Amino acid sequence: MLEALQLPFMQRALLAGLLVGGLASYLGVMVVQRRLSFLGDGLAHAAFAGVALGLLLHQEPLWVAIPFAVGVSLAITWVRERSSLSDDTAIGIFFAMSAALGVLFMSLRQGFAPDAVAYLFGSILTVTPTDLWVMGLVALGVAALLPLWPDWAYATFDRELALADRRPVLLHDYLLAALIALVVVVSVKVVGIVLMAAFIVIPAAIARLLSQTFAAMTLGAVGIGAFSVLPGLAAAYLFDIPAGSAIVLTQALFFLLALGLRRF
């Protein structure tokens, strides 16, 4: 197992997994506590549409998927702020539209698209140095915005109190939406569109079960999100199963354990 870490592609997979696991869980805490769990699924499909468009245009999929998913995420936020539609309805509409566009772009492209399958189910072992650089940049961006956690947490706790205290709640809503979309796009290649939501939701949900404070929930989620990648990757390597699936199953196992812990 340890000699596997000598292999460059395994090193990249591990680093990518830790980055994606930590990032998705950090933002996932806000997503889960704001009852937007469905957002991960919606944005994963926006990423899918972006990737499909990139492939259709013979561009690097990432460069098309990033603006596309960020645009969809901002649009979802705009509809949530401006209309009386419920959050899941707003997300659901863009989810469906993205999926439909993705399928359309795929069908317009001649021939079979093996790279698209990689995105659908994730392929952590094919992470390129470019992918890693982009993930690193996104991680740096999120790290630079760590000082905004107290504002995000305050608005998550009670939006009205945050507004009454003149916090820039609206601006932060859009900022969070853009960041979540960025993280989803850079994660999708690792985790796969189908499993993306789990990365955002499960570690935060586990941490929620085990925490008394929002700060503890945040730290716990990041820790669980990053840590669950290790046994997941090991299982993927040893038993030759898809890494995304192994990681998510690891997280699901932790969730069941946490549920059990709470009972006693």
Partner 1 sequence: MTAAAVEMKGYSVRFGDFRALQEVNLTVPQGAFVAIVGPNGAGKSTLLKALLGLERGSLRDGPTQVSGTVRVMGLPPRQVPPGWVGYVPQVKGFDRSFPALALEVVVSGLRRRWPFLITAPERKKAEEMLDRVGALALANRRLGRLSGGELQRVYLARSLIREPRLLLLDEPATGVDVVGEADLYRHLEAYQAERGATILMITHDWEAAQHHASAVLVLNRRVVGYGPPERVLCHECLSQAFGHVGHEHGLVLKGD
Could you list the residues that contact partner 1 (CB under 8 A)? 33, 81-84, 149-154, 156-161, 163-167, 170, 208, 211-217
**Complex with partner 1: residue 79 or 106, whichever CB lies closer:** 79
CA-based torsion, 148, 170, 206, 125: positive or negative: negative
What does the CA dihedral 33, 35, 39, 41 come to, rounded to 10 degrees? 100
- The residue type at 22: G
Which residue lies nearer to partner 1 by CB, 162 or 190?
A: 162
Listing DSSP states for 100-144 in one string gives HHHHHHHHHS-S--HHHHHHHH--GGG--HHHHHHHHHHHHHHHH
Owner of token pair 């399958």: 117
Least distance to partner 1 from the beta carbon of 252, Å?
21
Residue number with CB closer to partner 1 (6 or 212)? 212
Tokens of 134: 């982009």
Using the minimum distance from each CB to partner 1, give the nearer residue, 35 or 133.
Answer: 35
The helix/strand/coil state of 130 is helix
The residue among 92 and 136 lying less far from partner 1, judged by its C-beta, is: 92
86 in the Ramachandran plot: left (φ > 0), alpha (ψ -120 to 50) or beta?
Answer: beta
Q: How far is the CB of 97 from partner 1 (least distance, A)?
A: 22
Q: Minimum distance between the CB of residue 143 and partner 1, rounded to whole angstroms? A: 15
**What distance in Å separates the CA atoms of residue 242 and residue 237, rounded to the nearest whole number?**
9
Minimum CB distance to partner 1 smaller for 60 or for 158: 158
Taking a C-beta distance cutoff of 8 angstroms, is the pair 162, 155 a contact? yes
Minimum CB distance to partner 1 smaller for 94 or for 119: 94
Q: Are 60 and 255 in contact (CB under 8 A)?
A: no
For the CB of residue 214, give the shortest distance to partner 1 in the complex, in Å: 5
- The distance of closest approach from Cβ of residue 213 to partner 1 in the complex, given in angstroms and rounded to an integer, is 6
Residue 172 Cβ, how far from partner 1 at the closest point, in Å?
11
12 vs 172, beta carbon nearer partner 1: 172
Distance CA 219, CA 204 (A): 10
Taken in order 113, 119, 125, 127, the sign of the CA dihedral is: positive
Instruction: Provide the minimum distance between the beta carbon of 155 and partner 1 in the complex, in angstroms, as a whole number.
Output: 9
Query: Least distance to partner 1 from the beta carbon of 171, Å?
Result: 13
Distance CA(65)–CA(181), nearest Å, equals 10
Task: Tell me how far apart the alpha carbons of residues 33 and 213 are, in angstroms, rounded to a whole number.
Answer: 12
